[in-house]
Structure 1
């Protein structure tokens, strides 16, 4: 089993925790947008009243380890590796429970360039444990807000993980897609399942709008979140998100492999031995 000490060292060396590439300016901007009710920061969450910038800063200091000092306004942001490790343990416990109960699971990411392999490895392990990995509404068209305005994207699945891509940008099944914060993909996927004969997910695993959108609709959800994703941690604080793991969500894809191994080890799922 990958030791906690070895994983802590990797988190710091790969800048998954400790001083991260996400800047303080980016994080504070997200807190301002969230406090103002901007959908770009809410990620599909309908939060309870009272989440001002000060409250968000204190929550993120508690959940991630960022500085609680409002006068700290520049430089790299900070994630406490101990908080990451504690959240990974809770994440692994939920994975193990899903495997033991053979729960239907839905995976989705707004970071396909970075996190697709991470989620796909978990999907493969849960499938091998007897869970149904759901792939509803494949090919559905979704109007997603982007910095260039509203653009139509298609919902696709790669190795059991949902993502969106511009129509015609890549053939279906290609291991690339668009970065998005939108909760629309998970809403459309869940609506398709509700209207069909298949099972509904008992767990959604993902990030951004996937985890917040699912949690808002009452589906158990766990996922990764950066310091500029306050919605995921607010969702956790309000009981809508089961586990939010504080981690930089934009490093190289292979840097997440030790996290995969650690999670599979702790959850007693197949596949851990495949990761160095």
Structure 2
């Protein structure tokens, strides 16, 4: 455990991360204002003030709760990261033991996807069914990329759903529309929804909004999933910088997958 805490600090996955106070404070304010792009498809059950949002983020992430401080540096408490990873690991072990049907998805195809790929491979090896609904389904992306709206599609990389610009490139996205399309296809085919969703951003938010069991990752400037957890709609949200160099997540994957297959059931 201390070794993982040290790695989180050294790799800037937690501790003094590169995500700024400006971003943390500004996104928390945008969430409190109800701006759609910051909700990840998971509209909160009540109105949240900026002070309340920051209080939740302080409790679950470790950032400064002061609503008056909007500049400077901020931090993710690595001990909170490890505690959340432990709870996620317990749920993954349960999924493996029961050979559950699982969707794995990420809006970060150049960062924390490394963990999603490892989870998908391990669950498959444990006998779980990795669902891949709606491959090629088109969906809208909120905001603009390089001055233009970017139509995206659902694409699977080793069983992990990502957002792609046709066959050209993989894109970072907060949109919940991809997961909505995936769940809609399962429903249209008369198939049961997944037992578990492992995801982030809008992929996680839309799944939680549909009432599914969700474990997720989120950065300190993305309050939606932490508020979802506080409201009892997301099982686990792990506070972590979600877009550093992919290889730096290897110890996180190793921790999550420890004992996943060779466990007593």
1:252 aligns with 2:249: no
3-state SS of 1:94 partner:
helix
Which of 146, 151, 154 pairs up with 2:143? 146
- Aligned pairs for 1:71-220 within 5 A: 71-147=68-144, 148-170=147-169, 177-220=170-213
3-state SS of 1:206 partner:
strand
1:207-237 deviations in whole A, cap 9, x for unaligned? 0001111001100001110111100100000
User: TM (normalized to structure 1)?
Assistant: 0.91
Pairwise CA distance, 1:197? 4.5
2: CA distance, partners of 1:48 / 1:105? 26
Which of 34, 38, 42 pairs up with 2:35? 38
1:269 aligns with 2:246: no
Moved more, 68-77 or 223-232: 68-77
3-state SS of 1:43 partner:
coil
- Aligned pairs for 1:14-53 within 5 A: 14-53=11-50
3-state SS of 2:17 partner:
strand
1:147-195 deviations in whole A, cap 9, x for unaligned? 245321111000000011112414xxxxxx1000000001100111111
Moved more, 21-30 or 140-149: 140-149
3-state SS of 1:22 partner:
coil
1: CA distance, partners of 2:44 / 2:210? 12
Q: What RMSD over aligned residues (CA atoms) do the two structures have, in Å? A: 1.3
Equivalences, count: 260
2: CA distance, partners of 1:79 / 1:60? 10
2: CA distance, partners of 1:50 / 1:192? 32
1: CA distance, partners of 2:158 / 2:33? 37
Match of 2:216 in 1: 223
2: CA distance, partners of 1:72 / 1:269? 46
* Structure 1: tracts of 5 or more residues without a match: 171-176, 271-276
Pairwise CA distance, 1:198? 4.0
* Structure 2: tracts of 5 or more residues without a match: none
